Structure 1
């Protein structure tokens, strides 16, 4: 069926390889730190980051690679082995609810996850191997579905390296990282391999004892318009967590700022994957195929309310899951003409199956099992088909129209019989974009799209709350979103790439499944809007300057006396960066980000503080082989919160109903990390 449809798409007059450069002027390739030049994208908020810039900026954690997406904030509220907290476009994305992340075509977001829907753990990633990050924002792209309403990031790994290297990184807080990366010719292709060993205690009163092992083995080959790769990845980690703590306990001296309310929190995790990618470019076609299999496991001990629910044993829970995820992503594009106008037709088919067993929530004390709250076995499958048509109507007008259809099936076997069952849902998502220009090296964009995010499968069949065993209603499996954006990108000033986007996004509901509570947390329909201004300036061949500003607002659209603000929604974000390259043996970078205050409850009466964090890097190359790098994190030693929440909790001696309070996780104080690198 697919070959027949693909063939039908190519009926229009083909454009042969030797004609493509002339017939498709709207596809431009540029090199350097960014690939964001005029003519390279379908939206003002879309862009690409290259390996050169990734290598030159310091990062405290692997997931901070996503802060290359303008307006993105990456934080942490627990141990280093847990997925990070993400903020973008008026969202507190939690661990990834509405931002889709892919590594070499593999989805990273975990649906129906033990801890939280869309759980995006990037700690398996070795940043030195990332060749490119292609980011998009908004639900405007037909090839993106679940979790992509706020945006998506597609990271691709390198096929080969310019040189092999071994490095050792250390700081005074017990951080150690050893890394070996290399690539070599193998047969008709290239073999890339990497091994990473890590340990960290951090600044916490209770040493984190985080330890990890990561490895990558990748074979790639090809030529003459055809290439393929096969990649195996492995990751395993364990840690003790210092989670968020109540502000009142720090203010009255019961807890140190870097102390833990429950020092037995922590976890273990692992992830193993095998993926393959194949790409073939014909005279007038492009065919791509991805397939993957992922085996992962997580055991997470978490206590965020202390003695509120159980005044004797405490409120710690174990969230445990073991998952097998398989899937594929196929696409076929035809390049042709319609009445003399350049045209592209693309069709795609995507499938994914998650089998999670066991998937459980257990009451524990000091990591000792007390009793199960709920256990499940879940199978969640999805199939999606999409079509996209691109036409260059005139030299100054291009249209991109698409349609996506997703179908989901949920099968849940629960230890609570009333919560077992099956559910099905489907959603169609139209997309449309217009690109006007360029005039004076400036182009304009109008984008519209509909998208969705899935809810936890357990919520789609739930009829009893796991803890209270009180009746509840099942949640909507797939929640619709609708977004629009107008924007512009310009290179009118020599060396400056500047873009601005004004956007709006509506969500039919913010229903989510709460992994901490084991039941659904319903909320109302919402709307978000904002403006972004991004600037990349090549001041010279050695100096690159970046300035990104973003402002957004998030409101519930349905009236409630509690208020209409969405708790945790990010409002103001700013970042400034300066990258200095190859000034003799020296290179360096400075990065500063502003994370603005956020409403913590619906009536906006409690707000978080703002934070300003700066990083500094200086590198000295002794010769072709040896390089020493010094990274300073939190350069100005600012006392700041990584994350803030407002909810009730109970410490020993407090009222049975608990105390409403801000709970925060402090940012790490100033620290110096040194890296010695040897190339070979």
Structure 2
């Protein structure tokens, strides 16, 4: 097969012979056996030492290539092809699929060094949930505390990110984070994504790239969906706690130059709590992709998601210790909610010339949200209880355009601009009873927030050095109409922020690369904070630095390590659960990240990711400067089998160390150590497998908060740890048929 592909590629080149051997550049396209473009192929000229990478259309442009030069074309998922340049006219190179081999992975000049690690993980550990997608980011931990329907709690680089305040998340260029959300700033619900449709994950820690803006302080995660499916499939998962998941993946159009597919997911579960969760979710997704020219591409996608659930919420330690409720019990079993999101997304990439192209994307989202919670039980209202409702009805529109120009092999330029508008009606916080009666509106209003941005970035290459510089300008317009006031008053504030970036990469060899990253980032504050503060200190900036390396000390071993520092300016936080504004002050975080990927043989892999963070408030005295719930130590470790005689699977452990729960570190949020297991067997078109969460049935707390509350029978309130229990031993049988 390999020889056939090499002959095919050489023949394609040979038919173009006869032109002058003095040509100075080579333009080509890399595709797979099904004629799909291969992005990220590494084209290396062994004579001139020049190299290039194929873009999303598989196209590459190689400087200083003359007839007779020897080339190698490689990609971690394809067999390497060796050839000689027969002509410098446009050529097509066909690569054949192969089993992943780390000894063929080349460390290239890429500032997003962790993407290679994520690609390896996605290849050897297929995902089944949106939580699995987020866990592909080394050092990012998640916690669920509302029955599976609410966005996860995120932890990264010493941040308790809440639901997304300091991590920017996108899917096909469309933002997931919600500004000025009813529940919390940056709220990022990823449950509308069907994990089997995700092709790749782009992410980085820190704020080092000019095309990334709001919420990118601790880092960003950008998901890209597949342009086409490898095959049709239907799947059924059956698990404990009345858990059922049905999945369908269907090609509607599959030919060269065009593709379309549909994916649908339906999920039900009562979950493991004493009070049944009655959880249900429907996900629908369709995508059409077409190449309108040799290097032009358009992609249209439509999706719809709806979910509803009941929740047990967070429970106090004392209620469990006294026997009032069990570890999986509830104080207020009437919590829960419902949400939906519909999206339309269009992406158009147009090639202007061999040196220039423009990428465009636009999106429209319709979003609804309703959540019932009770964090303090009978603290504020001893008669009816403290249940609250948070609700909103939002429309999001936006676009982004980026122009790219390559001067020569020494310089590349990117110029971009875009707009995002959130129009949010009836953003509500109210005091309710039994999810039916509204006792009091605590906050109610209309929000309209616009973010206009532009940026410029340039890459400069000299020998083994790459320097990336960038500058981003963001302008915000905040509108808020408070519907609880007697007279209409549209409160308006505007603010702008400038964010410079500069990054250095030194790659003396294909086995090692050193980097230094420096950048300024930010996250916007809730519009209700902005008008309350009259526009002062409402775009808190972060200043980031990373120093590290990516290294292959052995052919099948990859390491990454980084020392980092992050300073965050004074900010004001809107607490959506209480409708109050709280200042947090200046903070600094510093730490170390370490990752390892090792391949024992063709089918056995080992992965490890470790992080340590020292997080402190800068305006507080020593000993009272701990940042509550900031993660200190995290560790993920796993062994994976990939296609050994039809078997694939993994055993994975994750550790989140003890964390301070208050500023004095006198109360701790207990850490946990959990082991998950999966095993799948593929026989022709049929796959059968089992997934086990918490294989050793460890008793653990998934999310924890230091909260003051009062139970119905208590005379006085108590401040202590409140938590949502983590899943016990949970097994799920998975069946799939491909056709």
Structure 1 length as normaliser, TM-score?
Answer: 0.92
- Match of 2:264? 195
Deviation of 1:31 (Å): 2.5
Q: Deviations over 1:616-671 (max 9, x none)?
A: 111112x3221111011101111111011112111112234x10110011101001
What is the rounded CA distance, in whole Å, between the counterparts of 1:336 and 1:127 in structure 2? 38
Correspondence list, 1:104-253, <5 A: 104-185=172-253, 188-222=257-291, 224-253=294-323
Match of 1:470 in 2: none
Change (3 A) 1:51 1:221: farther
* Change beyond 3 A, Cα 1:411–1:440: closer
Shift of 1:492: 2.6
| 2:89 matched residue in structure 1 | none
2 CA distance for matches of 1:58 and 1:453? 29
Supply the distance in 2 between the matched residues of 1:21 and 1:294 (Cα, whole angstroms): 42
State whether structure 2 residue 458 is matched by structure 1 residue 389.
Answer: yes
Q: 1:280 Cα shift?
A: 2.9
**Equivalent residue number for residue 403 of structure 1:** 471
Residue 571 (1) aligns with residue 638 (2): no
Residue by residue, what CA displacement relative to the aligned partner does 1:28-81 show, whole Å, maximum 9, x if unpaired?
87324699842152154554634983673465x423311110001011111211
Where 2:702 maps in the other structure, the secondary structure is strand
Secondary structure at the residue paired with 1:662?
Answer: strand
Aligned to 1:11: none
Contact preservation (8 Å) 1:16, 1:283: no
Aligned to 1:63, what secondary structure does the other structure show?
helix
1:624 and 2:684 are equivalent in the alignment: yes
Structural mapping, 1:510-521, within 5 Å: 510-521=571-582
> In structure 2, what is the Cα distance between the partners aligned to 1:197 and 1:43?
35
- The equivalences for 1:632-643 within 5 A come to 632-643=692-703
Give the gaps of 5 or more residues in structure 1.
1-13, 464-472
Range with greater deviation from structure 2 (362-371 or 125-134): 362-371
Hey, what's the Cα distance between the residues in 2 that align with 1:367 and 1:384? 40
For 1:590 and 1:270, the matched residues in 2 are separated by 34
Describe the superposition over 1:501-521 as per-residue Cα deviations: whole angstroms up to 9, x where unpaired: 110000002422111011212
Note the C-alpha offset of 1:615.
Answer: 1.1
2-structure distance, mates of 1:640, 1:126 = 28
| Equivalent of residue 493 in structure 2, options 423, 427, 432 | 423
Q: Could you tell me whether the CA contact under 8 Å between 1:51 and 1:131 is conserved in 2?
A: no
The change in CA–CA distance for 1:330 and 1:201 in structure 2 (over 3 A counts) is same
**Residue 709 of structure 2 is aligned to residue 649 of structure 1:** yes
Which whole-Å CA distance do the structure 1 matches of 2:535 and 2:233 have between them?
53
Secondary structure of 2:670's aligned partner: coil
Take 2:163 and 2:226, find their aligned partners in 1: how far apart are those partners? Answer: 26
Paired residue for 1:364, among 427, 432, 435? Answer: 432
Give the direction of change, closer, same or farther, for the CA distance of 1:45–1:493 in structure 2 (3 Å limit). Answer: same
Q: Which residue of 2 aligns with 1:449?
A: 519
After superposition, what is the alpha-carbon deviation per residue over 1:317-372, rounded to whole angstroms, capped at 9, x for unaligned?
Answer: 100000000111111111113xxx61101111121000000111111011122121
Consecutive unaligned residues of structure 2, counting only runs of 5 or more, are 1-23, 30-42, 55-73, 78-99
1:85 to 128, 150, 153: 153
Aligned length: 651
Cα separation, 1, equivalents of 2:113 and 2:646: 37
Q: For residue 329 of structure 1, what is the aligned residue in structure 2?
A: 400
Q: CA deviation at 1:676?
A: 0.9
> Which residue is equivalent to 2:587?
526
Assess, with a 3 A threshold, how the Cα gap between structure 1 residues 566 and 210 changes in structure 2: closer, same or farther. Answer: same
> Which deviates the most, 183-192 or 141-150?
183-192
**8 Å Cα contact 1:37-1:497 kept in structure 2:** no
More relative contact order in 1 or in 2 (CA 8 Å, sep 6+)?
Answer: 1
Contact in 1 for aligned 2:109/2:507 (Cα 8 Å): no
SS of 1:139's equivalent in the other structure is: coil
> How many angstroms does 1:499 deviate by?
0.7
Q: 2:51 aligns with which of 25, 28, 32?
A: 25
For the residues of structure 1 that align with 2:509 and 2:685, how far apart are their CA atoms? 47
Which secondary structure does the structure 1 equivalent of 2:135 belong to?
helix
Q: Which has the larger radius of gyration?
A: 2
Q: Give me the whole-angstrom Cα distance separating, in 2, the residues matched to 1:36 and 1:361.
A: 52
**Quick check: 2:537–2:571 contact (8 Å CA) kept in 1?**
no
What is the CA-CA distance between 1:590 and the residue it aligns to? 1.4
Aligned Cα root-mean-square deviation (Å): 2.2
